[in-house]
Amino acid sequence: MPRHALVARALVEQIGAERYRVGELLPTEAQLCRQFGVSRTTLREAVRWLRAHGMVSARAGVGTKVLAREPNVRYVHAINSIADVFQYAKDSRAPVVLASQEFDTGPQDAELLRCPPGQRWLRIELTRAFRGDDTPILHAVAWVPQAYQGIARLVPLRSSPIYKLLESEYQEPVLRVDQEFKAARLSARIARLLGAARAGAPALCVVRHYYGRGERLLLVTQSHYRADRYSYRIGLRFDASGTEAAARR
């Protein structure tokens, strides 16, 4: 581990143990350099990490002030391919299922579930947290057609995403995923589940439709993430050959 990371971890532990309390100033740069036996450059890298995670603020002529006892963890989900859509599950625990029930679709479900009224579906509500973090990173509702209702008993037992259960239990591979990203505000209930400070806090809402063979809709999910704890990064590559070919046509 780099030296500045070790110093940052030590400072996090000291602040968490209230050796330096919220509202107080950290020792001077010179004092901290002596304490840890590091250069000013190394110390500044460590303090920069603390600032980036909301634990301290630094102001010239004033010093470095403690703002919080623990870092504000923010997860960045980078997407470059369809496989990356599901990368979050690698580091997550098995989800906590809040509710699971079957229902018949109505006219109000047509747009979201892309199906006519009168079909039987399974609805699963859950939260998911990463290992080492007790606060859920997302609240989600998942819908699957009745033909796949058997996954209900497996969801709370597996850390893998639901689409993997469709593959393992029903041999239904996901071949395409449509994603829609929307700005949203958390309801009072979801805000409480995600540890948000208040109802109405800004959130990222992601709606996904998962398709299998023959463009069959296998799964629909709607997930809410706290805006201050999660973000998406999507990499796009310019296809010059494709553009030129289109221009020639």
| Element housing 162 (H / E) | helix 162-170
CATH T-level fold of 3-66: Arc Repressor Mutant, subunit A (1.10.10)
> Is pLDDT larger for residue 77 or for residue 194?
194
pLDDT value of residue 39: 94
pLDDT value of residue 110: 83
Residue with tokens 């350099």: 33
Q: Where are the domains of the chain?
A: 3-66, 75-234
Minimum mean pLDDT range among 33-42, 43-52, 66-75, 240-249: 240-249
* Phi/psi of residue 154, nearest 5 degrees: -95, -25
**How does DSSP assign 102-138, residue by residue?**
EEE--GGGHHHH-S-TT-EEEEEEEEE-BTT--S-SE
Q: How far is CA 93 from CA 80, 127, 134, 207, 212, in A?
A: 24, 10, 10, 21, 26
pLDDT value of residue 247: 38
Single pTM value for the model: 0.63
Taken as a whole, the chain contains a residue count of 249
User: What would the pLDDT profile of 70-95 be if each residue is shown by its tens digit?
Assistant: 876 555 544 555 555 555 555 667 88
Nearest to 156 by CA among 135, 146, 142: 142
Residue with tokens 């995403």: 161
CATH of range 75-234; options 3.40.1410.10, 3.40.50.2000, 3.10.20.30, 3.40.50.10070:
3.40.1410.10
